[in-house]
Amino acid sequence: MEPESPGTPESAVTSCYRHPKVESYVRCTRCDRFICPDCMHAASVGHQCPECVKEGVRSVRQARTAFGGRISTVPLVTYVLIGLNVLAYLGELVRPEIVDRFSMLGQGLVGPDGGRYLWQDSYPADFSAEGVAHGEWERLLTGAFLHLPPVGGGFGILHIVMNMLTLWNVGRIVESQLGRARYLALYLLSALGGSVLVLLLAPDTTTVGASGAIFGISTAYYVLARRLGADPRAVNRFMAGLLLWLVISAAVTSWQGHLGGLLTGGLVALAFAYAPRDRWRALVQAGVCVLVLGLLVVLVVGKVSALTG
């Protein structure tokens, strides 16, 4: 073996492209840059640098549910909605006047003593008008997060307990099928639809409860299950029980709110379930939600105009 010539240069020292002071002899299999052990990410072949890993993640198509939503293992929206309802109920216990101020009401009167009275076209000067028809539009949604106070043998507690149990059992399934964004849109539109029907048919009635939204979620469960080919006998029994409770609710609760949530939730669920499965699916689904919202707003504006005209 011949000795190395004095003029031969020493071998170049290579370093990590992100940490120039760290020697490295391993290259990224995608960009061919040198990387140190702290920058190495195991790949199917060799190692990759952090930038190539991020680029690869962006190029991978996100998994979707059967109805176009992002797959999530934690029903976060359901947890948040239950938490909001429970927090609102605790607020009612501390300050009962919250129910009077934020419950769903089309129009009513407040006396000088703070008492609530049914609406009448002619009322004393020391009375004041309240309700959606008189500028309190927030009642259309806030009433859906309130429940009956714990009076009358504890029915108020049963009211929120039954609603939250239903939301826990049904909401988690629907959220996993639709994804978080679509599920939240369904819930809020159903709640709004229930309040709108109360405004249209019983504007003088004070209502509270998440039942309208839950009827919408339950109807969506039925529509999605049929679309996925679930056992028709099981889902039909579920829907029959839901309709039976709608009839019973006519005597004990606000059937208008229940029916409004059922119809609105069913319409939105049909759009989610039967939108074409192509690149336009998300646009079609969003468009239907916007149309439903627009229809509800038009109905509210028309009813308010009739009440105040």
Evaluate whether 185 touches 69 at the Cβ level (below 8 Å).
no
Share of the chain above pLDDT 70, in %: 93
Give the pLDDT confidence of 47-60 residue by residue, as tens digits: 888 888 888 766 55
Among 161-170, 183-192, 230-239, the range scoring the smallest mean pLDDT is 230-239
- Quick: pLDDT tens for 248-278: 877 778 899 999 999 999 999 999 999 988 8
| Angle, CA 294 vertex, CA 289 and CA 296 arms, to 5° | 95
62 pLDDT band (50/70/90 cuts)? Answer: low
pLDDT band at residue 10, thresholds of 50, 70 and 90? very low
* pLDDT the model gives residue 91: 94
Helix (H, G, I), strand (E, B) or coil at 1: coil
User: The dihedral of CA 84, 89, 90, 92: what is its sign?
Assistant: positive
Hey, is 246 helix, strand or coil? helix
Whether residue 201 is predicted with pLDDT greater than 50 in this model: the reply is: yes
The pLDDT value recorded for residue 46 is 81
- Cα dist from 113 to 100, 107, 136, whole Å: 14, 18, 21
Cβ burial of 8 (10 Å; 0-12, 13-18, 19+) is exposed
pTM, 2 dp: 0.80
* Arithmetic mean of pLDDT, 11-33: 83
Confidence (pLDDT) at 66:
82
Question: Which whole-number Å values give the CA distances from 109 to 126, 134, 236, 238, in the listed order?
Answer: 10, 10, 44, 41
pLDDT above 80 (res 188): yes
Helical spans, DSSP H, in 228-254? 232-252
Domains of the chain by range and CATH? 12-43 (no CATH), 76-308 (1.20.1540.10)
> Averaged over 191-197, what is the pLDDT?
97
